[in-house]
Structure 1
Amino acid sequence: MPSTAYVYVPAPSRRNLEIGLAQGLWGWRTPTLDRAGARAAVESLVEGDFLVLAYKGPNCRVEAGQWSHASLKRVVVTRVTRPYFRDENPVWPDDDYPERIGLDVLNEETDVQGQALGDQAMEALRLSANKQGAALVADGIDGVIRFAATTPNSPSSDGSTGLVDHSGPDSEVVQVLVRREQGKLRRKLLNGATTATCALCGRTLPTRYIRAAHIKRRADATSLERKLMANIMPACLLGCDELFEHGRIVVDDSGFIQVRPRTTDTVDLLSAAEALQGRLVAGFSPDRAGFYAWHRENTSS
């Protein structure tokens, strides 16, 4: 069972938080980890553990338990992708923060009430705030499970589970958090419409048959790229989404669909792909071109 680390980020560190999430990194000053077991806590984290970053809460100079019903401006649930390492290459503008871990953002919410994380997690965050943002590590993932279950949950209505490579007892909560991200993208893409048009085949369908598809696949996109609408297109579940996902079709640098046949393709699969050959993908623009180029270069031919 993975562990969960809780880190408090004070209001003045907003820019550092944004930079860290964009870079897939979090770091600490060396003096922060020199104090009573703080480095050992960070060093105990392994790939697959959770790291919860909480931004802007109330006064932390209160008695234990007083944060149980506190409000946090922002909570970001991430997963450790690279355990503790040292690196002094500049990332943040105000300091080096050389004691680092790599992370992957799963989900974030704003205006989170303490009950959404639970008493243990909120007390860990209060202690982190009192220890200059040191990580407080708890065995298990109770706080993350509670967060997934009690904060607003908007899984995609198309049944998408997102690109999740993790397995084990925590896989379900990871799926929930990633689906919530998909739900937010769908709402932004569809804007309340009941029908939508597939960018690839041009068919207009009820929105339950349309996926908010990442052009540069989610597993390889940065936290920022995952949320950019330039990296999202409406792709239908009648075949277009899968053909694009598996690289059977790509979009060239002029915005036209090209087929990439393979020797293992059946006649029917090739026929479905060839029906899209030469179509101009809807919504093609310069800011999308780079994502389509990434897709061309990183899907098997």
Structure 2
Amino acid sequence: MMSYCDLQRWMLGGCTLLGLAVSSSAPGAIIAHYKFDEPVGSSTVVNEVTDNGGNGVVGASVVLGVAGVDGTAVQLPRINSDAGMINMGAAGNAADILNKITASGQVTISYWLKSAAGVNTSPRSVAVSIGSNANNNSYVDSGVRGDTGFVGAVYGRNRANQSTAPNIGDMAGPVVTNDQFHHIALTVDTLADVGTLYVDGAMVNTETSAAKYGAFPGFNGFLVGRLYRSSNADPFGGVIDDLQLYDQALTAREVQWLFANPGQAVPEPAGVVLIAVGLAVVACRRKVAS
């Protein structure tokens, strides 16, 4: 027998899913999803969105199989070489992913991060980056800061085509180096000139500026554990899990969904409606049965 409180939770779940469907005029299209559930010793991590390529080559010092927020995760060693990173774009392997981001003019980078204090001490320790190796200053990236006043703070950055201050989108969030998992989402919308940073489902920073968010770099690479540019820089030490890329700037509601549902992608609207209706029907049947 379903209690009244149980019924409320079922109905709330359905309403939340329906709200997710109708609140987004343009649903976020997932173009890459890495669950990092491969066994220890694997040399490749798989993009679950198989049509887009982008399987990652695992560096020799990267450790798979550590405890994650959903299943297992990957441990990055903070080594400034190929051994300390995962290369999703080796030999042009991520071209379809990067071309879709460029064509849409929008991107969301969503991932779970776990790092202890005192590990990532350089000004930037890059967890995830997409960018260009044609020069040193064209990328979109996110990770942990270590510079004065921001030690341990998460950040999200859009640096287009060698732009220099003040024309770099650079948002800081709260300290996340407490050896606990935190959900990070960075959205960049070059059509609306907006960047937004979320931590654990809540918006913590946003900027609107055509100079900072009006263009993407010429993407040709995608790394986990280091900044992607023409030379090695800014390695990250810690655990990463459930990395997702979308060729849309997700809404706040969609980011909240990702935080509440580790390991899952944002549902397509048709699927959301069907799930929500199903929940409502089941709830009503249980109510009648009680």
Which structure has more RCO (C-alpha within 8 Å, separation ≥ 6)?
A: 2
Rg larger in 1 or in 2? 1
Q: TM-score if structure 1 supplies the norm length?
A: 0.24
Q: TM-score if structure 2 supplies the norm length?
A: 0.25
Q: Which has the higher strand share?
A: 2
